Structure 1
Amino acid sequence: MKSSIYPLFTRQRFVALAFACSAGWHASAQTVRPDSVEVPYGRQAAWMVTGAVSSVQGNELKKTFNTNLGNTLYGRLPGLTVQAGSSENGVNTPGMVIRGVGTFGAADTKVLVLVDGFESTFAQLVPDEVESITILKDAAAVALYGSRGANGVMLVTTKKGVKGALKVGFGVQYGFNKPIALPKNLRSYDYATLYNEALQNDGKAPMYTNSDLEAYRSGNDPYFHPDVNWYDQILRKAAPMSNYNLTFNGGNETVRYFVALNALTSQGLLIKAGDKEEESSNSKFQRYNFRTNVDINITQKLTAAIRLGGTVEDKANPAGNTTANLFGLAASIPSNAFPVYLPDGSFGGNALYANPLGNVLQTGSYTSNGRTLQGSLRLTQQLDFITPGLSVSGALALNTYFNSYSNKSKQYERFSISRNSNGDTVITRFGQKTSLAGDESRSDQWRNYALQGFLNYDRSFGIHNISAMLMYNQDSYSISGNNLPYKHINGGARITYAYDERYIAEVNMSYMGSENFPKGKRFGYFPAFSAGWIASNENFLKENKVISFLKLRASYGLTGNDLIGGPRFMFDQLFPFGASPYFGTGNNGTAGIYEGTPANPDVTWEKETKTNLGLEATFIERISFNLDVFSNRRRHILAQPFFTVPQYVGVDLPFLNVGKVDNKGLEAVIAYHNAADAKVQWFVEGNAAYAKNKIVYNAEAVQEDTYLYRTGHPAGQPFGLQAIGFFKDAADINASPRQTFTSVQPGDIKYKDQNGDNIIDQNDVNAIGNSYLPTLTYGLHAGVKFRGFDLDVFFQGVSGSTVTLGNQFYAFQNNRSAPEMAKDRWTPATAASATYPRLSSANNLNNYRFSSFWQRDGSYLKLRSLELGYSLPKQTLSRIKLTSARIFINGNNLFSVDDIAGDLDPETLGIGYPALRTFSAGFRIEL
């Protein structure tokens, strides 16, 4: 589909179209501003919020049918960049960063995720149990999280009961997944033809005769001249998935409850191996979610909030705990290497490669069972008898995760078939058949607990509004195999003052400590200051009929990141055991220890100052607009001081807090909706976020040429050779700088001499392309509703990133297959139009270096979701005694507009589980 629409709608035109409609969007379909907003450790009236936050409602996430909640967030929250990982069920958690990256090296950019106020995973949750997801982006919003807030914070709030009669909701959704794109390798005839050419280019005799080529072309000799597409052998055309959801909601003045039960099943793309071989298994994924959220008024002044949720997750695969190795094998094998089966029904194979189908059917089964539990209890006591608006609360939470594995594996025989010089058939065996062996020794486990206490004050005195909070938090996180838990202790305060709903001032502060730093230096102070001005409440704008709402806000503060990378407790000097030296004439080693990397007694967390300016506006009650501009300056990043201490001193250099990164950007949000009483209701919304960082200092070693420095470039900037075309002929080679990697021929890649020394070597490596992380992310959301019918469309895209074609695109290297793009290789006849270097049968050390030749623009625009639904009218609902009923059809990842040729997906260019396109249909009813 991509190639058919590309000439008419280029990526650039789509981006222009998106911004012709808007500069950006709010992530939900609610263009009306909310009354209150989720903030650290509570909620706050929206007009009083002076920090930078973005939210999306859980109901919006239902439009993306996926087994991982993280994959429903693409483009939904301005400032949040979601990057695809594997699409395989159970290991498909995407990467996420908020407002780009502010560090480098081994430091972690992980977003701090809190579920109902406590640190936990959220990937296993389902949209039906989620009320909202909010990201906190500036200092005013994250200061209370101290040394854990610099990378941004995500607040996941689950649904709670609402006072009223019992409401029962039930939903069913069925669908199936299909691969968006699979690697396209040469079929046997083309492979053999081009391999002969590669041999000739290397000065060697051809391997395949004309009769061989004809046999490959005609396909009349499938055993001795096979032509196998291994993806067709191991994959289904489509894999079904289903989702069942049941909820109960209601309550009275005393007790309010929300209960959810969910069952999700998704079968993998692999063939149903368990149906064919008893000792194998079908690829499948099942997860069962439960949640019980109860709010109780114990007395008139004392309330309790109970949150309890969990999952049980079962996963099964043939050939491995994940499919990564299997997909890598299928992409590597030349299509003519061996047949799937030999005439006697045994599996084909050779010394280099196993049989992918044999691996699926004959290597056993791999299963896992994971369990999560999230539980918390919060008590709140009103202290009005002391002063109105005062309350105290305390909370205790426990989150656990356990995953056990049961691997039953075996080996199988495979055989190659060939003819000798006499024409006799020769069968050679590889591998050995073994019985099934079980292994249940592996498991993964973690748990964390947290204890919180709050003193809150919220009161109005005429035109004065005061809100204040004191908080205490301590948490402990333990991982199996790690003897010492990770711990934090944090105290904080927030004070907000508003005058006449026009002027707002707020101070946030926290004092946090971690066990990972030296005694006396474990705690740090993190203040933030913010202010807001609601100009639309001034007299000179109150009567304005165009500007319905106008608010300006600003914030500045200090945050931290204690995920600094490097070894734990690096303030301790270690003396590890080293290699055993040999002394004297004996052959016995003498054990010894050596001085490890020098300790850093002053090691500390990364510190970041965040500055944010924001504007919120609503025009004619229908157009809303938000704009945020930010500047983040992070310091104390770990780096080894190569700039000041040369490597020839002979010791490993310590990691010191000397690195610096600046990160700047902006976010824009705009939305429009027509009148609520119009016969045809519609809305259009958009969002855009831009963030670009720069390494200010990283203590790198002195370089002879300035272009070799990483300083001044973004974190993650690729460095490689700059390709400037192909060598035309021998004269061109002789007239060009000498490339030292190997001898070159016409058609080989030609590189730029960066330093002018007439030699191409590693000193000519420089910044090429962009980082893997896009600088621009955007979304476009539109919907229309008419007479019960509704249509919802959501586009998402990125720009400013570079992706790299990996070794699966290197033709014939390491005895592997060759991609379809190798057909466009350089030859004397195609020199003017060639887009691929000359072919070589050996590992070409010149052409397959990391260079700009193998880079591609990673920008794309995708139709992430399209949903058409119909809701029954009220008259029909009353007759069948339902509150609501809706049927729908849905599609996800329907097409992509990008610059990647060959129907490849820019998000998943590496070997592995392919990106998926999903189609589904379902219904939801409420009693």
Structure 2
Amino acid sequence: MNQMIIRTISTLLLSAGCGVYAAAQSPVTDSTTTAKAASVNIAYGTQPAWMVTGAVSSVKGTELRKSFNTNLANTMTGRLRGLTVLQGNTEPGVNSPSLYIRGVNTFGSESTKVLVMVDGFESNFEQLVPDEIASVTVLKDAAATALYGSRAANGVILITTKRGQEGQLQVSFGAQYGFNKPVALPKMVNAYDYARLYNEALQNDGKPALYTDADLAAYQQGNDPYFHPDVNWYKQVLRNSAPMSNYHLNFSGGKKAVRYFAALNAISSQGMLIKAGDINEESSNSKFNRYNFRSNVDIDLNKTLTAFITLGGTVEDKANPAGNTTGSLFGLMAAIPPNAFPVYQPNGSFGGNALYANPLGNMLQNGSYTSNGRTIQSSLRLTQQLDFITKGLSVSAAIAANNYFNSYSNKTAQYERFSISRNNNGDTVYTRFGQKTSLQGDESRSDQWRNYALQGFLNYNRTFGIHEITAMAMYNQDSYSISGNNLPYKHVNGGTRITYANNRKYIGEFTMSYMGSENFPKGSRFGAFPAVSAGWIVSNENFLQHSRAITFLKIRGSYGLTGNDLIGGQRFMFDQLYPFINSPYFGTANTGTGGLAEGVPANPDVTWEKEQKINVGVEAAFGERWRFTADVFKNDRRHILARPYYTLPQYMGVDLPMLNVGKMNNKGLEALLSYTSKPTAGIQWMAEASATYAKNKVVYNAEAVQQNAYLYYSGHSVGQPFGLEAIGFFKDQADVDKSPKQIFTPVQPGDIKYKDQNGDNVIDQNDAFPIGKPYLPTLTYTLHTNARFRRFDLDIFFQGVNGSTVTLGSNYYAFQNNGSAPSMAENRWTPATAGTATYPRLSSQNNLNNYRYSSFWQRNGSYLKLRSLELGYSLPASLMSKAKMNLARVFVNGTNLFSIDDIEGDIDPESLSVGYPAMRTFSAGLRIEF
């Protein structure tokens, strides 16, 4: 796999001319940027890049436009070194991925969430669009995150929206239109193959065949579509492609006293489902629309007082037939055998049976499901310069209010569906399932959250000859409430950061926060989170100052303590709870009497997870063309919540409290190498490669004592799969007889054979073994290249992962629950194919042996994907000047264009489960700036 990826990258680099143009540096910036670069966003402020001693990486919003997606988080895939994005659901409006910074550092149930700050305040961010974003920054080590205290251990993402600059009005308009196509859909057998294979399965089970030769002929010829149907439900329910569009209009500029940035954006994505609302007025089309607006204004109230007003919002509308999401519909399409029933019966009614509904009938007759969301992000910040006290001193205060509300309107109905048969006279007999009802409305459901925050800062920035000092003291309090919870979540935080630089060679920084949360007992709600870091700019030393080979070299390191208060478990677990339960029956009445019971024992010492972070990094620039950075990190986390089953086993029959006894560590490295060509009149190009490796290990999780050492999760990575180790198929009955007994169900030749891990000659759950690798890849790597030739530009972005395992879901189990069969079942075991079979023998029953969780159903999750490709053309400067334009560019764009992986068949390694498929997008657009 790795050699194949390397060869592919090399070939594509040569064929593409090595890349995409970047004016003077890579579009991805981080603390590795040279001393000549601009400032870098850090916690609650900015610093010159040369002064940054923490591990920080960032990307401009303009780069995120290259991936055409309705969810901002999905545009970050591979763009930020150290950030891993797991795709998850791809349905428009619910395509929220999982984010991990430097892998996983905890095994807690709710502990992996990354803190996201938008313009300095916690807020939802996935609904933002790249055209309103200035930069996205990832903070990774203790020096970068300590100011966020007990919320920082999983890393922090800072999103900064655009602001106006002094100057003439600048107008930017862009339009992009394209279409989505599924990368892959589950491949199921047709009706003829289904009937043929099902007969074989019955024979293997010692049962008579269900389908006669005449049935098989009818399925093969397709001349009896009602009694011998052959339905591909994906073709009946899905379109070949679905349109997607994006339009934006931005205004920026201002005078010395007032600067502004205003933006409007409209994005639309129609779902892959057919237009059910155009066929039946009681249904709806699948669609997702979002409208973004933003108005950021900076006002100099006088010479020393400035107001920063930030206001942004979104309006989202989503509609679907058959359900609020499409998950159940896709599951139904994968499960129905192709010969179960036709789409329509001879009399025009919907086909169906007692086991399965009709997917098309569900879309047209089950009603419509719509949701309407509103988001507001607002803040006001005042900054007062205090130079009259001492030069470089300032004070600022800010208040923010963020709100999200989503309401649902579900109109549901039932419908009739029929199966048909022939009676003794040859007449068609209809059997009805379901009953037609009128539409019923339900608008009782809604989701809402609110977030309020108050901040205050005292800043000092002063240079005394060769000495540079920046210092900051801060206060932050926030309140976060969710509908359905009576008590809000609250944090109070105070902190400071002091940075000293000597002669731009030696840098030292101390950071500390003191944060408290309401979720912990009184007297133990606050904790200190200190961090120290240092940097040495070696290239400013005399022995390197005039070097042409090494133009910039910085060595930096950091050590500190951070925390994570998302510990999981019940809220306020320091209090003993007595929940309501149903008491036993008293008297002769057949009703229970409500009562109280003692809940799980309280933990009066519950606290947050604590993590020690160590990071050492080097940044270098060689000449004016090469740039390199590398970081090595190690994180040790303790106080993870776990039940102490090791101390008191479950068979004692008592509920155990959650205790902060868990430990784990995570370590790895990051690297980046880039090259930028000379700015000649010919081709200009840039190539950048990056990689992040992170490996974690559970040190202690208080799990119960196991008879076999290999059953312990401790010592493995978080998410390590445990299952039976498949070692092939049983060859014959003699092989069955001499092998350890597999207790799940009687086995036959062709069934999956498992390894006896403990040597007791029995295969049972005690033989569950660490198989495969966790879901989260240990290695993420990217290759970004761009080039410009005259007025043409080309941008290519590859992203790949390694070190993960994915598992085929139950839709790949042939005839499970009387369901369909995947095309891979064609290569099933038979006596004739015993030497080449890759699928177990077929069975008409739910085979409890073959369909167990085992290594047989695992696949290598590694892949290399062409995440985005964009080719553009800009009009000549002479034409633009006549039209008074700064830019006029047209482009074509492709997202998620192809994948190289080790999974057989047309299967995408990121979306193996039944659900909305991974999408490939093709689009064209234009961008005009005045």
- TM score, norm. by length of structure 1: 0.98
Aligned to 1:229: 232
Q: Is the contact between residue 893 and residue 918 of structure 1 (CA under 8 Å) also seen in structure 2?
A: yes
Aligned partners of 2:446, 2:419: CA distance in 1, in Å? 38
After superposition, the C-alpha distances for 1:553-599 in whole angstroms (9 at most, x for unaligned) are 00000000000000000001111123321346665544332211111
After superposition, the C-alpha distances for 1:470-519 in whole angstroms (9 at most, x for unaligned) are 00000000001100000000000000000000000000000000000000
TM-fit CA distance, 1:422: 4.7
Aligned partners of 2:851, 2:391: CA distance in 1, in Å? 73
Partner SS for 1:750: strand
Of 195, 200, 203, the residue aligned with 2:206 is: 203
Q: Is the contact between residue 27 and residue 56 of structure 1 (CA under 8 Å) also seen in structure 2?
A: no
TM-fit CA distance, 1:648: 2.6
Of 875, 880, 887, the residue aligned with 1:884 is: 887
- 1:757 correspondence with 2:760: yes
| Aligned-residue RMSD, C-alpha | 1.6
Q: Is the contact between residue 26 and residue 686 of structure 2 (CA under 8 Å) also seen in structure 1?
A: no
Partner SS for 1:366: strand
Amino acid in the other structure paired with 2:205? D
Matches within 5 A, 1:251-650: 251-583=254-586, 587=590, 589-650=592-653
Partner SS for 2:104: coil
- 1:677 correspondence with 2:680: yes
Aligned partners of 1:587, 1:449: CA distance in 2, in Å? 50
TM-fit CA distance, 1:463: 0.2
TM-fit CA distance, 1:345: 1.0
Amino acid in the other structure paired with 2:5? R
TM-fit CA distance, 1:32: 6.4
Amino acid in the other structure paired with 2:99? M
Larger deviation, residues 585-594 vs 493-502: 585-594
Aligned to 2:826: 823
TM-fit CA distance, 1:252: 1.3
- 1:696 correspondence with 2:699: yes
Amino acid in the other structure paired with 2:27? S
Q: Is the contact between residue 285 and residue 320 of structure 2 (CA under 8 Å) also seen in structure 1?
A: yes
Partner SS for 1:232: helix
- 1:729 correspondence with 2:723: no
Larger deviation, residues 501-510 vs 570-579: 570-579
Larger deviation, residues 278-287 vs 210-219: 278-287
TM-fit CA distance, 1:280: 0.7
Amino acid in the other structure paired with 1:389? G
Alignment CA distance shift 1:872-1:822 (3 Å):
same
Aligned to 1:919: 922
Partner SS for 1:140: helix
Aligned to 1:655: 658
Larger deviation, residues 41-50 vs 102-111: 102-111
Aligned partners of 2:408, 2:832: CA distance in 1, in Å? 56
Amino acid in the other structure paired with 1:137? K
Amino acid in the other structure paired with 1:628? D
Aligned partners of 2:557, 2:430: CA distance in 1, in Å? 77
Amino acid in the other structure paired with 1:816? G
After superposition, the C-alpha distances for 1:834-874 in whole angstroms (9 at most, x for unaligned) are 00000000010000000000000000000000000001121
Q: Is the contact between residue 410 and residue 442 of structure 2 (CA under 8 Å) also seen in structure 1?
A: yes
TM-fit CA distance, 1:621: 1.2
Aligned partners of 1:489, 1:901: CA distance in 2, in Å? 52
Q: Is the contact between residue 100 and residue 692 of structure 1 (CA under 8 Å) also seen in structure 2?
A: yes
Of 11, 18, 24, the residue aligned with 2:5 is: 11
TM-fit CA distance, 1:37: 0.3
Aligned partners of 1:832, 1:768: CA distance in 2, in Å? 24
- 1:82 correspondence with 2:85: yes
Aligned to 1:52: 55
Partner SS for 1:194: helix
Amino acid in the other structure paired with 2:691? A
Amino acid in the other structure paired with 1:45? P
Aligned partners of 2:765, 2:194: CA distance in 1, in Å? 33
Amino acid in the other structure paired with 1:292? S
Q: Is the contact between residue 664 and residue 692 of structure 1 (CA under 8 Å) also seen in structure 2?
A: yes
Partner SS for 2:556: strand
TM-fit CA distance, 1:413: 0.5
Of 882, 890, 896, the residue aligned with 1:893 is: 896
Partner SS for 2:203: helix
Larger deviation, residues 578-587 vs 353-362: 578-587
Runs of 4+ off more than 6 Å = 15-22
Structure 1: stretches of 5+ with no match in the other structure: 1-5
Aligned partners of 1:737, 1:678: CA distance in 2, in Å? 74
Amino acid in the other structure paired with 2:556? R
Aligned partners of 1:27, 1:207: CA distance in 2, in Å? 65
TM-fit CA distance, 1:161: 0.2
Larger deviation, residues 853-862 vs 573-582: 573-582
Aligned partners of 1:270, 1:591: CA distance in 2, in Å? 47
Aligned partners of 2:108, 2:356: CA distance in 1, in Å? 36
Matches within 5 A, 1:719-798: 719-798=722-801
Aligned partners of 1:302, 1:585: CA distance in 2, in Å? 78
Q: Is the contact between residue 27 and residue 55 of structure 1 (CA under 8 Å) also seen in structure 2?
A: no
TM-fit CA distance, 1:29: 5.5
- 1:95 correspondence with 2:110: no
TM-fit CA distance, 1:521: 0.3
Aligned to 2:247: 244
After superposition, the C-alpha distances for 1:526-561 in whole angstroms (9 at most, x for unaligned) are 000000000000000011110010000000000000
Aligned partners of 2:591, 2:63: CA distance in 1, in Å? 69
Partner SS for 2:198: helix
Aligned to 1:3: none
Aligned partners of 2:145, 2:92: CA distance in 1, in Å? 32
Amino acid in the other structure paired with 1:28? P
Aligned partners of 1:208, 1:422: CA distance in 2, in Å? 21
Q: Is the contact between residue 574 and residue 606 of structure 2 (CA under 8 Å) also seen in structure 1?
A: yes
Q: Is the contact between residue 268 and residue 289 of structure 2 (CA under 8 Å) also seen in structure 1?
A: yes
Alignment CA distance shift 1:428-1:586 (3 Å):
closer
- 1:28 correspondence with 2:27: yes
- TM score, norm. by length of structure 2: 0.97
TM-fit CA distance, 1:420: 3.5
TM-fit CA distance, 1:266: 1.0
Aligned partners of 1:738, 1:625: CA distance in 2, in Å? 57
Aligned to 1:119: 122
Aligned partners of 1:568, 1:496: CA distance in 2, in Å? 38
Aligned partners of 1:489, 1:458: CA distance in 2, in Å? 26
Partner SS for 1:265: strand
Q: Is the contact between residue 14 and residue 861 of structure 1 (CA under 8 Å) also seen in structure 2?
A: no
Partner SS for 2:580: coil
Of 713, 717, 724, the residue aligned with 1:714 is: 717
Aligned partners of 2:315, 2:635: CA distance in 1, in Å? 40
Q: Is the contact between residue 28 and residue 58 of structure 2 (CA under 8 Å) also seen in structure 1?
A: no
Partner SS for 2:267: strand
Amino acid in the other structure paired with 2:604? P
Partner SS for 2:356: coil
Aligned partners of 2:598, 2:311: CA distance in 1, in Å? 49
Larger deviation, residues 586-595 vs 536-545: 586-595
Aligned partners of 1:175, 1:18: CA distance in 2, in Å? 25
Partner SS for 1:924: strand
For these two proteins, the number of residue pairs brought into alignment is 919
Aligned partners of 2:329, 2:793: CA distance in 1, in Å? 42
Aligned to 2:157: 154
After superposition, the C-alpha distances for 1:865-887 in whole angstroms (9 at most, x for unaligned) are 00000011211111122111100
TM-fit CA distance, 1:421: 4.8
Aligned partners of 1:891, 1:688: CA distance in 2, in Å? 23
Q: Is the contact between residue 631 and residue 663 of structure 1 (CA under 8 Å) also seen in structure 2?
A: yes
Aligned to 2:864: 861
TM-fit CA distance, 1:446: 0.4
